[in-house]
């Protein structure tokens, strides 16, 4: 993908705007894919795949990065939920707040597989797969 250059723009600005979100989304997609596979294998669901996940929730920093990550995962945006437009970035509370908002809006039903994926400074990334209870 060619980066759009704005007259007088620094190379750092181009990297920050164009390249890093795509790199991060690929890293997050790799972490999520390996998490779903590893946990599925541990609990006897060897055939659990990304298509079996009902909802993907991410750090609520940037909708563009969430869109790129869902593209990298090959999953539709209808399988994610975001709240940054409602509350902005709320730091480490953003994932539980977004999970609660999704539950309040009826996006989750008992037995749904949900992936929570957090990103931090640098390339720090972690994901967990859970099954939503009653």
- Domains of the chain plus CATH, in order, are 51-134 (3.40.47.10)
Label residue 61 exposed, middle or buried (CB < 10 Å: 0-12, 13-18, 19+). middle
Tally the C-alpha atoms within 13 A of residue 69's C-alpha that lie toward its C-beta. 32
Cβ atoms of 28 and 61 closer than 8 Å = no
- Coil, helix or strand at residue 113: strand
Instruction: Note the pLDDT tens digit of each residue in 14-34.
Output: 555 555 555 556 667 677 767
Rounded Cα–Cα distance for residues 5 and 127 (Å): 34
Rounded Cα–Cα distance for residues 117 and 35 (Å): 10
* Alpha helices in 15-123, H assignment, sequence order: 20-42, 63-73, 84-87, 94-104
Residues with Cβ within 8 Å of 91's Cβ and at least 6 positions away in sequence, in order, are none
Instruction: Note the pLDDT tens digit of each residue in 57-106.
Output: 998 888 888 888 888 888 899 999 999 999 988 888 999 999 999 999 99
The structure's pTM equals 0.73
């Amino acid at each position: 993908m060619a980066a759009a250059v704005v007259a007088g723009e620094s190379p750092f600005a181009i990297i920050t705007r164009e390249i890093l979100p795509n790199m991060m989304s690929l890293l997050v997609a790799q972490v999520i894919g390996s998490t779903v596979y590893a946990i599925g294998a541990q609990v006897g669901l060897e055939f659990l795949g990304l298509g079996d996940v009902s909802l993907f929730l991410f750090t609520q920093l940037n909708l563009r990065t969430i869109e790129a990550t869902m593209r990298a995962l090959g999953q539709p945006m209808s399988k994610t939920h975001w709240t940054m437009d409602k509350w902005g970035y709320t730091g480490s509370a953003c994932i539980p707040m977004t999970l609660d908002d999704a539950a309040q809006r009826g996006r989750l039903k008992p037995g749904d597989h949900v992936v929570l994926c957090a990103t931090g400074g640098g390339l720090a990334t972690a994901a967990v797969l859970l099954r939503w209870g009653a």
